[in-house]
């Protein structure tokens, strides 16, 4: 099942985009999750920038960074935000910090999960070459008429699930401090982060997510848990992961669980909150409206 959730983020989509080394940011508000390191990881965490976005790779220490609403604006809802990057890097700005700040501006406590990654070559040039190969393998030929992507080897998400579970546990344990209603705690993820969100929903024994938002993630069918949370799902028709598939949507619908699906005319893959001139740019407003209609934005203490 995990194989269908493997994704490639905006880095590989822009193969001709220049990548610059970036000094690691301070991240003063990041909280260590204490989930351990990465086995057989010879390289150190490094950062790079592409298309203006800061990205991290070879992450061996998971952290959680809170983005809390301003006093008086919080409504008690909370969201774990999981950036994407094919489980080999994280788009921390485009799919992490920016999204978390947008949620906090709407009164929702947001927590960016910087989860552990699979190793990549230490050299930036070798890393670019390896990711281009990964992207080439993941992209179907232009002449392909197949409705479903070619199956790929399953990815071990043991570390990533542990990180997500530790993040969830920390938020629950500090809910009073952070002004969070634990009955309104969800998770949203982008690309590989959408895969992690779905993996946690389907396989975690400790997380009880109240809603999920997989954004441009894998679309294959899944086995839906009996009490699966309501799902808000977004993808664009020109995303190479879509290819006319509605499997995960159909699975949720047939299981009788609440699901909302937005299929946009354009947007490509890795658009985060949005890119200029794309129909997918309004998805975040639709997500907030969906949360509101489903009662997840009810003022803290009134539910």
Model confidence over 50-65: pLDDT tens digits?
A: 888 999 999 999 999 9
| DSSP states along the chain | -GGGG----HHHHTTTS-EEEEPPP--TT-EE------TT--SPPEEEEETTEEEEES--S-EEEEEPPPTTT--S-EEEEE--STTTEEETIIIIIHHHHHHHHTT-EEEEEE-------SSHHHHHHHHHHHHHHHSPPTT---SSPPP------HHHHHHHHHHHHHHHHTHHHHT--GGGEEEEEETHHHHHHHHHHHH-SS---S-EEEES---------TTPPPEEEEEETTSTTTTT--HHHHHHHHTT--EEEEEESS--S--TT--TT-GGGGHHHHHHHHHHHTTTTSPTT--
Paired tokens of 152: 């790929």
Model confidence over 20-34: pLDDT tens digits?
A: 899 999 999 999 999
Model confidence over 89-147: pLDDT tens digits?
A: 999 999 999 999 999 999 999 999 999 999 999 898 899 888 777 667 666 665 444 45
Residue 203: phi and psi, rounded to 5, are -125, -15
pLDDT band at 225 (very low <50, low <70, confident <90, very high): very high
**CB atoms near residue 176 (< 10 Å):** 8
Identify the CA nearest to 83 among candidates 173, 138, 160: 160
Please check the confidence at residue 154 and state whether its pLDDT lies above 90.
Answer: no
Model confidence over 72-92: pLDDT tens digits?
A: 999 999 999 999 999 999 999
The matching CATH number, chosen from 3.40.190.10, 3.40.30.10, 3.40.50.1820, 3.60.20.10, for 2-138+149-293 is 3.40.50.1820
pLDDT band at 17 (very low <50, low <70, confident <90, very high): low
**Cut 0.85: pTM above it:** yes
Q: What does the mean pLDDT of the chain come to?
A: 89
């Amino acid at each position: 099942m995990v194989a269908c959730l493997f994704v490639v983020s905006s880095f590989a989509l822009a193969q001709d985009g220049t990548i610059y080394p970036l000094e690691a940011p301070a991240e003063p508000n990041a909280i260590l999750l204490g989930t351990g390191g990465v086995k057989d990881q010879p390289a150190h965490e490094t950062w790079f920038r592409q298309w203006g976005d800061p990205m991290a790779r070879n992450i061996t220490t998971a952290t959680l960074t809170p983005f809390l609403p301003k006093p008086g604006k919080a409504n008690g809802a909370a969201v774990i935000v999981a950036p994407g990057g094919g489980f080999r890097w994280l788009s921390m700005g485009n799919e992490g910090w920016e999204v978390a700040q947008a949620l906090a501006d709407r009164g929702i406590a947001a927590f960016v999960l910087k989860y552990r990654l699979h190793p990549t070559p230490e050299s930036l040039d070798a890393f670019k070459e390896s990711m281009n190969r990964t992207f080439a393998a993941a992209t179907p030929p232009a002449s392909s008429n197949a409705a479903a992507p070619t199956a790929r080897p399953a990815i071990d998400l043991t570390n990533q699930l542990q990180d997500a579970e530790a993040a969830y546990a920390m938020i629950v344990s500090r809910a009073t401090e952070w002004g969070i209603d634990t009955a309104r705690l969800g998770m949203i993820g982008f690309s590989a982060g959408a895969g992690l969100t779905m993996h946690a929903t389907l396989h975690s024994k400790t997380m009880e997510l109240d809603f999920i938002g997989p954004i441009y993630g894998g679309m294959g069918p899944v086995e839906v848990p009996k009490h699966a949370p309501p799902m808000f799902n977004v993808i664009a028709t020109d995303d190479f992961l879509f290819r006319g598939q509605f499997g995960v949507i159909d699975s949720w619908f047939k299981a009788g669980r609440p699901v909302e699906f937005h299929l946009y005319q354009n947007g490509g893959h890795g658009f985060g909150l949005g890119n200029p001139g794309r129909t997918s740019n309004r998805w975040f407003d639709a997500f907030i409206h969906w949360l509101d209609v489903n009662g997840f934005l009810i003022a803290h203490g009134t539910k």
